[in-house]
Chains A and B, each alone.
Chain A
Amino acid sequence: MTIKDKSLTAWQVGIMLFIILFSNKILVLPSLLYEGAKLEAYFVPIILFVLEFGLIYLFYRMKRAFPTQSFAEILQKYFGKVVMKVILFLIMLFFIFKAILLYNVTYLFFKTLIYQDSSNILFLFCFIPVITHLGIMGLRVMGRTMQIFFPLIVGVTVFCIVIGLLGIKDLPLLFQSSIGDIALTSIKHIAGFGDSLLLFLIIDKITIKRGQWKVIFSLSGISMFLVISITAVFLFTYTYTSFLHPFALFEIMCYVKEYGGVGRIDMISMLLIVILTYFQLAIYLKMFMLSFLEVFGKINEIISAISFNLFFILAISYVVLNLGKAILYGENFLPYFAILPFVVVPVLCFIALVLLKREKKK
């Protein structure tokens, strides 16, 4: 652990959480959700965010129970070194796989809608050095940078949603999908969620003063509300043609631009998507590095960053890079890894909390 990774404040953690909760949810996901759950698809993020909020609450309990220990130390203490390494290895994979999906969707978004002649190399050139730099500089630098951009991110997001409301006109058929449809769609797209797992990896690097927990809960709650709002506004704007429009946040601005004749208002959503993607990729990289260092130990953090970059570039170049493959990857492969934040880690944490309670009784 480096000095620069030490002591993130409650605000920095809250903002980091605020940003990462948008990841993989505001571009392609709403359109895919419509295919499974029709207009009631906005229930899917509501359900999955309830689980996510449960994870954040679990983190709160863990932090109070283990104020100074790292997640690796907790796992090692109660479950042994092997389990700790396996879990952290899986978490490492979870974050890099999510980073691959995020990069793909953003790249395809810009290539399709902005600059069709652009190459993946150009995009990698623009993203990789910046996120690597942020990752190596550490959590505190990342947190402070996010603090600077936070008002812009909130302002632009709220603006997009408010403007998007103008696109809602007629009331379509409501409640066409069943509870089963919503549940199945939730399971299919669960991999887009579970990002608050990052809190467990930085549990020992956070200093939260008395009464500051509400900052974390409030910011994550606001972020979830905004994501649900974007999904709902998109679905009610495009209704039956939602499946034809794969880039939700951009499309709701585009609708207002094309029908309201408001210049290039859609550029604002592009700005937001770029800023969010940079930060989200940097967070994923940092989480990969933290778990990599715990799994392989005694390895320089530069090596962990290079490992991320190599794996990332290889996977992007050969596994995905078109929308069809990216969707297949996100719907059929990644959901298995969602067991980690929603089942494995909560169960382990629950056991650790019970064992700690017993220790205290003794």
Chain B
Amino acid sequence: MKKVWDYLIKTPMLLVFIAISVIFAFPALGASAELDRYAVITAIGVDKGETEGNFDVSLLMFVPIAEQTFTENYKVVSAEGRTLTEAINLVGLHVGRKVGLSHVKTIVVNEEIIHEDIVNILDFLGKCRNVASSSKLITTNATAKDFLTSVEKLDTDSAIKVSELVNYNRDYVYAYDSTIELFFKRMFGPTQTALVPYLKLGEPENEGVAAAAATDAATSGQGGAEGQSQPPPKEILNDGDAYLFKDGRAVVLLDSKQVEDINMVCGVYKEGSIEIENFSDGEYNEAKLSFEIFDNVVRNRIVYQNGRPIFCIDLTLVLNLAEAVNKDYTVKENVEFKNLSDAMIQAIEKRVREKFANAIGIMRENKADIANYYTIMYNSDRANFMKFLESLENADDYLNEMVFKMSLKVTSK
């Protein structure tokens, strides 16, 4: 015993370790599990409250149930409060748990709210409630509560599926990601514009892409029980539409074609196609042609003439003829291996120029520099750009005063 005591005296750190274990580790073993104390939230929805100025907050909550199955149960809980804090605290009160938002993957905001500044809402969630900055921001036509209810009914782990849907949009539809981090970056940046996905909630027979399958009757727990007694849930429809935000407020809803046009100018999406109708040359007669884009490289040059910037966009498109539907006869050859004819290249150029003009038109009309030309011009020739801005009556109107020129090079793969 004396030897042990001497050893302990000689190694005080061991004593410290024992003390910490006794004081903190044993009580921690007896404490209730965090899952019993916390409500794990995977999606947040924000609507206008019934009372003017109030918020209606809906939370998609993961309900952990100790069973020997792999099903996950979700539940939507809502509460109205004068502030988001009050509403979230009320939700905690309803479910008898502390609301933990660090697992949130999706933030759904109702269309009614987005015409007011939503930066404060997101700022609160990010700063005070530790919502991950990689959470996806989504706008919807229905109430956020209905949206989350549909998500809950669709399938287990549905919030993740909705965020996957938005991930797909990031890669193949929009020019960039729609996380709250990126939203803030754009809002606090010089252009103060951002695109936010718009997912509609519609009847199952509507056109569009449904996010997931209908109610899983086998779903156990509360969510499953409610699903069996209620009518089939509405489907989440992804048409590729997006809201254009400026200064934290939604300005205009862009359809997928408009988004695609803006995308082409930005040159940052992974794939797409160009459709040409009524194409005729020696080989085709009033044909519908579809060209698949393999690469879309955009290079910018800025020159100043009389103090006015001329923004030259050199666009290189690498594409292939993927589909040809002739009016009078069937094309009996593999179009994939055909070289692009001069007439085809001219038609593509015309179509791309239309898309380009459309994209610039949207940006000019809304004074929304989605392509971030401001930064490109500022970094390339700061002095001239600042002079140009100073020469304008309204510096915010710089897109309308700029001259755009596009040179296009179309090559086949």
Residue positions of A touching B, CB distance < 8 A: 112-113, 122, 125-126, 129-130, 133, 170-175, 238-241, 244-245, 258-259
Residues from chain A with a CB closer than 8 A to the CB of B372 are 170
Per-residue contact bits, chain B 250-271, to A (CB 8 Å; 1 contact, 0 not): 0000000000000000000000
Per-residue contact bits, chain B 373-395, to A (CB 8 Å; 1 contact, 0 not): 01100110010000000000000
Residues from chain B with a CB closer than 8 A to the CB of A172 are 189, 375
Q: Is the CB of A125 within 8 A of B24?
A: yes
Q: Is the CB of B379 within 8 A of A240?
A: no
- Of the A-B pairs whose beta carbons lie under 8 Å apart in the complex, a sample of 23, sorted by A's number, is A122-B24, A125-B23, A125-B24, A129-B13, A130-B13, A133-B12, A133-B13, A170-B372, A171-B379, A172-B189, A173-B190, A173-B375, A238-B185, A239-B185, A239-B189, A240-B185, A240-B188, A240-B189, A241-B133, A244-B123, A245-B133, A258-B133, A259-B177
Q: Is the CB of B16 within 8 A of A241?
A: no
A172–B189 Cα distance when bound, in Å, is: 8
Q: Is B130 an interface residue (CB 8 A)?
A: yes
Q: Is B212 an interface residue (CB 8 A)?
A: no
Q: Is B204 an interface residue (CB 8 A)?
A: no
CB nearest to B100 among chain A residues: A116
| With A133-B16, A170-B372, A173-B374 already in contact, 15 other A-B pairs whose C-beta atoms are closer than 8 Å | A112-B130, A129-B12, A170-B375, A172-B189, A173-B189, A173-B379, A174-B378, A239-B185, A239-B189, A240-B184, A240-B188, A241-B133, A241-B185, A244-B126, A258-B132
Residues from chain A with a CB closer than 8 A to the CB of B19 are 125
A4–B249 Cα distance when bound, in Å, is: 65
- With A171-B379, A173-B378, A258-B134 known to touch, is A241 a contact of B190 (CB < 8 Å)? no
A171–B23 Cα distance when bound, in Å, is: 51
Residues from chain B with a CB closer than 8 A to the CB of A112 are 130
A244–B187 Cα distance when bound, in Å, is: 13
What's the A-B contact tally at a CB cutoff of 8 Å?
A: 55
Question: How many whole Å from A305's CB to the nearest CB in chain B?
Answer: 12
Per-residue contact bits, chain B 10-53, to A (CB 8 Å; 1 contact, 0 not): 00110010011001100000000000000000000000000000
Q: Is the CB of B379 within 8 A of A174?
A: yes
A238–B188 Cα distance when bound, in Å, is: 11
Residues from chain B with a CB closer than 8 A to the CB of A244 are 123, 126-127, 184
A231–B276 Cα distance when bound, in Å, is: 50
Question: How many whole Å from A257's CB to the nearest CB in chain B?
Answer: 9
Question: How many whole Å from A241's CB to the nearest CB in chain B?
Answer: 5
Per-residue contact bits, chain B 204-227, to A (CB 8 Å; 1 contact, 0 not): 000000000000000000000000
Residue positions of B touching A, CB distance < 8 A: 12-13, 16, 19-20, 23-24, 123, 126-127, 130, 132-134, 177, 179, 181, 184-185, 188-190, 372, 374-375, 378-379, 382
A244–B374 Cα distance when bound, in Å, is: 23
A245–B379 Cα distance when bound, in Å, is: 25
Residues from chain B with a CB closer than 8 A to the CB of A258 are 132-134
A199–B132 Cα distance when bound, in Å, is: 42
Q: Is the CB of A259 within 8 A of B134?
A: yes
Question: How many whole Å from B180's CB to the nearest CB in chain A?
Answer: 10
Residues from chain B with a CB closer than 8 A to the CB of A113 are 130
A240–B185 Cα distance when bound, in Å, is: 5
A240–B378 Cα distance when bound, in Å, is: 15
Residues from chain B with a CB closer than 8 A to the CB of A173 are 189-190, 374-375, 378-379
CB nearest to B16 among chain A residues: A129
What 7 A-B pairs are tightest by C-beta distance, nearest first? A258-B134, A240-B188, A129-B16, A240-B189, A241-B184, A240-B185, A241-B185
Q: Is the CB of B20 within 8 A of A126?
A: yes
A204–B41 Cα distance when bound, in Å, is: 59
CB nearest to A243 among chain B residues: B188
CB nearest to B24 among chain A residues: A122
A175–B381 Cα distance when bound, in Å, is: 12
CB nearest to B376 among chain A residues: A171
Residues from chain B with a CB closer than 8 A to the CB of A133 are 12-13, 16
Question: How many whole Å from B314's CB to the nearest CB in chain A?
Answer: 18
Q: Which of B16, B130, B188 contacts A130 (CB 8 A)?
A: B16
CB nearest to A245 among chain B residues: B133
Question: How many whole Å from A235's CB to the nearest CB in chain B?
Answer: 13
A24–B30 Cα distance when bound, in Å, is: 37
Residues from chain A with a CB closer than 8 A to the CB of B12 are 129, 133
- With A172-B189, A258-B132, A258-B133 known to touch, is A241 a contact of B181 (CB < 8 Å)? yes
Q: Is the CB of B379 within 8 A of A125?
A: no
CB nearest to B382 among chain A residues: A175
A259–B180 Cα distance when bound, in Å, is: 12
Residues from chain A with a CB closer than 8 A to the CB of B382 are 175
Question: How many whole Å from A266's CB to the nearest CB in chain B?
Answer: 11
CB nearest to A259 among chain B residues: B134
A241–B179 Cα distance when bound, in Å, is: 13
CB nearest to B375 among chain A residues: A173
CB nearest to B372 among chain A residues: A170
Question: How many whole Å from A259's CB to the nearest CB in chain B?
Answer: 6
A21–B349 Cα distance when bound, in Å, is: 58
Question: How many whole Å from A205's CB to the nearest CB in chain B?
Answer: 23
A240–B179 Cα distance when bound, in Å, is: 15
A175–B134 Cα distance when bound, in Å, is: 28
A240–B123 Cα distance when bound, in Å, is: 14
Question: How many whole Å from B370's CB to the nearest CB in chain A?
Answer: 13
Residues from chain B with a CB closer than 8 A to the CB of A241 are 133, 181, 184-185, 188
A130–B17 Cα distance when bound, in Å, is: 10
A240–B134 Cα distance when bound, in Å, is: 16
A130–B23 Cα distance when bound, in Å, is: 17
Residues from chain A with a CB closer than 8 A to the CB of B378 are 173-174
A130–B126 Cα distance when bound, in Å, is: 35
A196–B23 Cα distance when bound, in Å, is: 38
A172–B123 Cα distance when bound, in Å, is: 21
A171–B380 Cα distance when bound, in Å, is: 11
A104–B48 Cα distance when bound, in Å, is: 39
Question: How many whole Å from B105's CB to the nearest CB in chain A?
Answer: 10
Question: How many whole Å from B248's CB to the nearest CB in chain A?
Answer: 14
CB nearest to B186 among chain A residues: A240
Question: How many whole Å from B316's CB to the nearest CB in chain A?
Answer: 21
Q: Is the CB of B375 within 8 A of A171?
A: yes
CB nearest to A136 among chain B residues: B12
A170–B123 Cα distance when bound, in Å, is: 22
A173–B19 Cα distance when bound, in Å, is: 53
